[in-house]
A and B are shown apart, each in its own frame.
Chain A
């Protein structure tokens, strides 16, 4: 085992040890359903805010965002900006009132105004689809990452990760999940900031102007990799800067990494993508249920604000790191993009290679551990969300209405095990597929099926039960329809580009349907005034 592998192993063992200690400490205080689902609703806003950072930052953010910018150039900064921007909708429109009216699951907040079990069923179904779409790429990413850099067995890694997550979700519930997410969030956030700042000084003399100037000189590896002469020239260069110049000499007219509009398919695709990221965040069940863990609406807003500031710094660093990798590891990026076997993996491996160039095996191990922290924290959040919705919205609402708290928690624990098995199974099954786009689709579904209904539920007095059902169903159907179109390789539908996913179509149709149906029907909820007063009351935390 080489030095890098030993460092990675030390970091992983650190996370395992922390998880075990936290789980042991929280097991005794996790007894009721409120403890298991929402950590007793008494978590300090700082803790929830940091945990939210961990829950939101997946491997796609830690490795994918900088990797995309390094390989494709400036157009890909929108992945980072979109991930960040979503929290503005959460803070301004959702967080406070949702905390006031919800109890355990996303469905609760809508069910409180419209006590209709069909709503619970629909939200549960949507939550499960989103959680699965989000979870599988996390497990698959972890397996591939360790297979690639450490030579570890794919199945073993995914199973071990699944077991570790299951242990702390099953025994410690939301409390253990939150504490683990705090540790993981601090680790991965600090790792990203450290690597980006270090890279700025090592690759661009500590100057942003130099960083942009070097990026403006470079032909994006995605373009250079298609030119055999450029690939040869990059490989023969003595260092990354020389490689950038050599490739530019061969391709003088090619776009640079700072040329805008090269990688964006078209206007509609761009709008659809950013709409999905903006509104999808405000509809992600594993983020929304975290607001139930704090004491009040004010505390929920404070936790989101902390999260937004931390995410802003993180994503700015991710964008800068992307540009910095051009003068840092350019020949490697070009070589990967020339090799069909590496095209799909390059965006995830770029940060690791850049880290190794910067600080040797130790920094590479730090990056790999940051990615694992991102995967663990996101996957655990998804796991507990799926467990809550099955036990609370399905078992308690449909199968056993008189279920005791103990029975409900048992079902949640069994669901956690089943979800782990399913996600590991799907990860193994789809091992050779590029499924990173499933996360983007999860955002599309959340934006289309949950956000419009949740927004109107919390703010619109004229909104009706029928409008909620119709809006949610139409958003879900449009999203799923788009997934089918994308799976079958359909590029256009009714003359419209499908490249940006379901975002703009699902959101628009859901809003239109719910508005039309609400104006045609009258059931606004028996206690709508009471509901609105509760949703918007202010509390001192």
Chain B
């Protein structure tokens, strides 16, 4: 490893391509994350209380945020190359 790394110049086209990928992945995460948070409010709790795989749907989706994030990160590194 060196302190003066090799670098590849970013053109407007590559920046746009990168932005599209990164913001799309973040949008997927954001919608899933916020949607899960919203269904657990008093206003929507009847949806979150639906039993699913032995637990309330709200809990299942909340716990799913962790693996979903890891999958998105994997896509980020594969597609971002």
Contacts and interface: CB of A to CB of B under 8 A. Distances in A.
Interface of A: 41-42, 44, 74-75, 77-78, 81, 84-85, 88-89, 91-93, 209, 212, 258-261, 264, 266-267, 270-271, 274-275, 278, 295-296, 301, 305, 308-309, 312, 315-316, 319, 459, 529, 532-541
A88 B41 contact: no
Contact of B37 (A42, A89, A274, A536): A274
Nearest to A319: B63
A537 B18 CA distance: 11
Contact of B69 (A93, A258, A264, A308): A308
A312 B42 contact: no
B78 interface: no
Interface string B8-47: 1111101100110011011001100110011011111100
Interface residues of B, number: 48
What are the nearest 10 A-B pairs in CB distance?
A261-B45, A536-B10, A539-B5, A260-B48, A261-B42, A92-B26, A274-B37, A267-B41, A312-B66, A540-B6
Contacts of B66: 84, 312, 315-316
Interface of B is mostly: helix
Most chain A Cβ neighbours within 10 Å, of B69, B70, B76 = B69
Contacts of B59: 74, 77, 212, 258, 260
B73 to A, nearest CB: 6
A92 B76 contact: yes
16 contacts: A77-B59, A81-B62, A85-B69, A88-B73, A258-B59, A259-B49, A261-B40, A261-B44, A264-B41, A267-B38, A270-B41, A296-B5, A312-B66, A316-B66, A319-B63, A532-B15
B7 to A, nearest CB: 5
Contacts of B10: 532-538
Nearest to B33: A85
A537 B9 contact: yes
B40 A309 contact: no
Contact of A271 (B8, B14, B34, B70): B34
Nearest to B29: A88
Contacts of A260: 40, 45, 48-49, 56, 58-59
Given A258-B59, A538-B10, A539-B7, A209 B69 contact: no
Interface of B: 1-3, 5-12, 14-15, 18-19, 22-23, 25-26, 29-30, 33-34, 37-38, 40-45, 48-49, 54-56, 58-59, 62-63, 65-66, 69-70, 72-73, 76-77
A85 B69 CA distance: 8
A264 B40 contact: yes
Contact of A84 (B12, B65, B73): B65
A71 to B, nearest CB: 17
A315 B27 CA distance: 22
Contacts of A315: 66
A442 B38 CA distance: 23
A278 B7 contact: no
B26 A93 contact: yes
Contacts of B7: 537-540
Contacts of A533: 9-11, 15
Contact of A274 (B14, B34, B42): B34
Contacts of A541: 1, 5
B29 to A, nearest CB: 5
Contacts of A81: 33, 37, 62, 65
A64 B48 CA distance: 24
B42 A540 contact: no
B28 to A, nearest CB: 10
A529 B11 CA distance: 9
Contacts of A312: 66, 69-70
Contacts of A296: 5
Most chain A Cβ neighbours within 10 Å, of B11, B37, B77 = B37
A213 to B, nearest CB: 8
Nearest to A80: B62
A270 B40 contact: yes
Most chain B Cβ neighbours within 10 Å, of A74, A261, A308, A316 = A261
A527 to B, nearest CB: 14
A85 B25 CA distance: 13
A529 B41 CA distance: 45
A84 B10 CA distance: 30
Contacts of A535: 10
Contacts of B56: 74, 258, 260
B5 A459 contact: no
